[in-house]
Amino acid sequence: MITVAIDAASPVPPFEQLRQQLERHIRNGTLRAGEQLPTVRQLARDLGLAKNTVARGYQALERDGLVVGDRRRGTIVLEQAQQVSEHDDAIASAAHRYLSALEELGVSIDDAIDAVRTAFTQRTPLNPPTHGDTQ
């Protein structure tokens, strides 16, 4: 079971707090692909929120491609959400390896970011244009 808590004193709107917490549960695997989220009515009651607030949080998750709403089945976590999480993990891992190498060289964060931007703009595409396309 997931835990979601809304901080009434937070400057972050309740629907966004809900969206952020549910996204975290999806990305870390607490909520798995195919799993159904609580109904809007049930979660609104549990959290003491208006139904529209919960619905707005669910709609934001749907726009982000993490869930899909279905009138019969409710709101379901999408498979691709797990794949996005794994992709994000791979990116974070590469960034940590890069950071470790730069720390050994004594490179500043600004120089590291500049180096990545330069390398990105100067790279050779892995998949060159086809069908007479030019860059």
For residues 102 and 47, membership in a common domain is answered with no
Range in 38-47, 65-74, 75-84 the model is least confident about? 75-84
Q: Is 7 buried (19+), middle (13-18) or exposed (0-12) by CB count in 10 A? A: exposed
Does residue 69 fall inside a structural domain?
yes
For residues 131 and 69, the model is more confident at: 69
pLDDT 10s digits, 98-113: 888 888 889 888 888 8
Residue 36, domain extent: 14-78
Q: How confident is the model at residue 135 (pLDDT cuts 50, 70, 90)?
A: very low
For residues 74 and 23, membership in a common domain is answered with yes
Q: Give the single-character DSSP code of 12.
A: S
Which domain CATH number covers 62?
1.10.10.10
Other Cβ atoms within 10 Å of 90 Cβ, number: 10
Q: Which two tokens stand for residue 90?
A: 């791979």
- Give the residue carrying structure tokens 């549960």: 25
Using DSSP's 3-state secondary structure scheme, residue 7 falls into coil
Q: pTM, whole model, 2 decimals?
A: 0.61
Q: How confident is the model at residue 15 (pLDDT cuts 50, 70, 90)?
A: very high
Q: Determine contact, residues 29/39, Cβ cutoff 8 Å.
A: no
